[in-house]
Structure 1
């Protein structure tokens, strides 16, 4: 008789003893946390890449800001300072915003030089932020909550707006903040601090966000660690804004003080008084719409978590500013806020299990999903469903023919949308730049269809081209479908 026949089964080893617990059934593979997290991240990475790459191919990207960042990262990749000719001769970008962590792009740019390296890298970093939030939501409430969180966050208008407007340094903050808040929400305090600290190297204002994270850790976790993180955040921002940026900046100051504390718009008519500043902070109504659109996709669940306080520093400097571009939903300004509100939502689902369940929870989640669906076609991700996104027009083909006539290594003054088509192989500045290069460029390139009107209206740019041609300093090389190219005599 074999030994297996002599050995009792686990259930009969102890006669009369209780049967062993049955092994819990494994969920279907598509409901597992790792599959959901990385699967959704992969889907959104593909969507983000399609959107940003097609914008570049269709000449919808701009020198401000894709061209600027490419010039800076190109400097890093070749062992130099991050200088951008588009900002001005010898302009060091570390005197504009404090973002030394952009050096992480340098090795990839050295291998694959070109604007697509930045755009694909931004897409990857943004999609990566889906992973910690989805895994956390899965651990808290299971696969349905993970799917709702991942889809709502990945398709959020704040991330779509960042992806749809070129490249920005805050793409580095999105995954860092997501991992930090997911760790804090699961009481892994040291991991939260370590993920949060690099925010100081992404942008100068994020030190204040780090300080609030430190305050939350001190409130709910180890007080000494939290207070140390809060102090590091505040001191880091002060050091960057008051010392480092003015020291590197060509003008010897922080260039954005006037936008935060003053400016020339009508909104600052009462900025001389404290009362006027406070009133301006809460007006015009566009600011309320921004806050509403931040919270509504979460079914307002984010308000039930203390992590939502991390949104206050970013909202604060934006709403105090006199620059209307900061008040609304465009560009990259709300990307980090999307991380905050969705992390707050997951924590609310964790901490309020007894209240947030049943029909009430389903109603909130359904309303949030409806808001996300309604916003989708109104923001850049909606462009993926338009036929024009996948069509190359005659104007774009003509532009590429003209661009091919400019040799590598040339100096070029260009209009805004054509600039990032050349920054990987030429020294590019902008036509009618307020801080032009010291020597006249070899080539002048103007697109009459450029609607950015930056840094001057297209009519002014055309007048500059006409004056240069009449003076005899430049000759017309070609004019194809509104793309004008001049070469210096």
Structure 2
């Protein structure tokens, strides 16, 4: 086991900068040279990682078993990975008949899941992979904290990060390609904080393959590395990496995505509310959104407070927090209100940033042992206070472990649909069929017309009805029957229709 800096007691040491050592050199430490071998993580860190993996995987898999996963996004990503697993470019029937996913978001990193999906063709493969990626991202943070502050601090950091609300919200809502960015971000930022500048940039660059919006995040990391490098060749390498990242992002947005998209344009341009000028009010509207609009409505301010609260706002004292700026800006500029709050997966990539900045800030402050204990206790208290509010809190509720009898009915009805059929299904039924049928979303305007089968849950709670409300759903079913579909099964609110002509 790697010993803490202060002998055998496990009490965190004074950070080296207390004795006059410059903060950057103190964070880097004696083993940060280009040829130094870093010690392997001690067993207890792997135990924390395994524990977080089990918690995250259990939550995701249990939600899927309860029919609480969604067409947007689990089924979309599964259809993309399934395409890769069968040797062709990713398409998603949920987005539209044969819709090319590389025209929606640039996420070729999903191909890494294809071999696993080939062996285990199930949405569970994606959920388990996400749990593993998120859990292992705690490891670099714990290693840095262990080296700089000792065992106790590393343990608290790992748990507070792994159970933080942003991660809980994400793992409790389907699968997302950003899961690949989280361990890359953690490794990159920890390397940057310890002065390993080349490693920081090299860990960041693969994020260009995760999603098109990561280009600016990579550029900020490269610029921070260049700033820390001082004059000379290493600074220019950082600047070149930043320029290259922005160039790759622009190439993706302006060339690659429009080339694959059937509409010939980037699908989310209008979310910025100003471009193209004829669609959202032009430059004036964009300037308004980039100033007053970043703090209105109050949901945006509340989200910023929530992002910094787990770090007791100390993250603001570290330049590493600047890496969060691109994500915070595009969310604030977006016209989509779901981007403003703390729900869904939109804060997943921000968690490693704020926690790395928190650790860096503690080192820069030269925190005393007593002060360190207070800060860590405060961070743990915030984490525990928020834990019941977000998805992980469901694991503590007895009702979460009780299976609704309707789940068995749903599977009995779905089993009547043959493999390889074209299907339209209710939102929460789509992920149950994506591994063996060509399934799209019932009531969605871009769904494949005239499917062979239609299966609808008419008894789902009103707040889960989407994209149609209950009345619209009944009208749509009536229209299907009038157009030649017959009822094959109708049980406990589940309606299964098949085309007769």
For residue 322 of structure 2, the aligned residue among 297, 309, 313 is: 309
Q: Assess, with a 3 A threshold, how the Cα gap between structure 1 residues 168 and 275 changes in structure 2: closer, same or farther.
A: closer
Residues 1:447 and 2:457 aligned together: yes
Note the alpha carbon deviations across 1:106-150, whole angstroms, 9 max, x for none.
000001001000000000000010111101110010011101110
For residue 390 of structure 1, the aligned residue among 401, 406, 419 is: 401
Alignment of 1:190-339 (within 5 A): 190-221=198-229, 222-262=234-274, 272-273=284-285, 275-277=287-289, 278-339=291-352
The question of whether the paired residues in 2 share the 8 Å contact of 1:36 and 1:146 is answered with no
The question of whether the paired residues in 2 share the 8 Å contact of 1:62 and 1:416 is answered with yes
Q: Give, in whole Å, the separation in 2 of the partners of 1:351 and 1:344.
A: 10
Match of 1:189 in 2: 197
Match of 1:96 in 2: 104
The more displaced of 212-221 and 365-374 is 365-374
- C-alpha displacement at 1:37, in angstroms? 2.1
Q: Assess, with a 3 A threshold, how the Cα gap between structure 1 residues 443 and 172 changes in structure 2: closer, same or farther.
A: same
Q: Give, in whole Å, the separation in 2 of the partners of 1:25 and 1:80.
A: 56
Q: Give, in whole Å, the separation in 2 of the partners of 1:449 and 1:82.
A: 33
Note the alpha carbon deviations across 1:230-261, whole angstroms, 9 max, x for none.
11221111111111111111111111111122
Q: Give, in whole Å, the separation in 2 of the partners of 1:274 and 1:464.
A: 39
Q: Give, in whole Å, the separation in 1 of the partners of 2:285 and 2:151.
A: 52
TM-score by length of 1: 0.90
Alignment of 1:69-80 (within 5 A): 69-80=77-88
Match of 1:144 in 2: 152
Look at both structures and tell me which one has the larger radius of gyration over its CA atoms.
1
Residues 1:424 and 2:421 aligned together: no
- C-alpha displacement at 1:363, in angstroms? 2.8
What runs of 5+ residues in structure 1 fail to find an aligned partner?
A: 1-23
Residues 1:463 and 2:475 aligned together: yes
Q: Give, in whole Å, the separation in 2 of the partners of 1:56 and 1:436.
A: 23
Note the alpha carbon deviations across 1:164-206, whole angstroms, 9 max, x for none.
1101100000001111111111111121111110110001111
Alignment of 1:86-125 (within 5 A): 86-125=94-133
Q: Give, in whole Å, the separation in 2 of the partners of 1:178 and 1:55.
A: 27
The question of whether the paired residues in 2 share the 8 Å contact of 1:136 and 1:182 is answered with yes
The question of whether the paired residues in 2 share the 8 Å contact of 1:36 and 1:134 is answered with no
Q: Give, in whole Å, the separation in 2 of the partners of 1:342 and 1:449.
A: 43
- C-alpha displacement at 1:98, in angstroms? 0.6
For residue 437 of structure 1, the aligned residue among 435, 443, 448 is: 448
For residue 169 of structure 1, the aligned residue among 177, 194, 217 is: 177
Q: Assess, with a 3 A threshold, how the Cα gap between structure 1 residues 234 and 468 changes in structure 2: closer, same or farther.
A: same
For residue 46 of structure 2, the aligned residue among 33, 38, 52 is: 38
Q: Give, in whole Å, the separation in 2 of the partners of 1:449 and 1:128.
A: 39
What's the RMSD between the two structures over aligned residues? Answer: 1.8
The question of whether the paired residues in 2 share the 8 Å contact of 1:48 and 1:163 is answered with yes
* Secondary structure in structure 2 of the residue aligned to 1:250: coil
Match of 2:139 in 1: 131
What runs of 5+ residues in structure 2 fail to find an aligned partner?
A: 1-5, 11-39
* Secondary structure in structure 1 of the residue aligned to 2:487: strand
Q: Give, in whole Å, the separation in 2 of the partners of 1:306 and 1:458.
A: 50
The more displaced of 220-229 and 105-114 is 220-229
Number of aligned positions between the proteins: 455
Q: Where does structure 1 differ by over 6 angstroms across 4 or more consecutive aligned residues? A: 268-271
Q: Give, in whole Å, the separation in 2 of the partners of 1:258 and 1:274.
A: 11
The question of whether the paired residues in 1 share the 8 Å contact of 2:272 and 2:286 is answered with no
Note the alpha carbon deviations across 1:413-436, whole angstroms, 9 max, x for none.
101000000000001011122113
- C-alpha displacement at 1:313, in angstroms? 0.2
* Secondary structure in structure 2 of the residue aligned to 1:378: coil
The question of whether the paired residues in 2 share the 8 Å contact of 1:444 and 1:487 is answered with yes
Q: Give, in whole Å, the separation in 2 of the partners of 1:312 and 1:192.
A: 18
The question of whether the paired residues in 1 share the 8 Å contact of 2:273 and 2:285 is answered with no
- C-alpha displacement at 1:275, in angstroms? 4.9
Q: Assess, with a 3 A threshold, how the Cα gap between structure 1 residues 270 and 200 changes in structure 2: closer, same or farther.
A: closer
- C-alpha displacement at 1:40, in angstroms? 1.1
The question of whether the paired residues in 2 share the 8 Å contact of 1:262 and 1:322 is answered with no
The question of whether the paired residues in 1 share the 8 Å contact of 2:103 and 2:262 is answered with yes
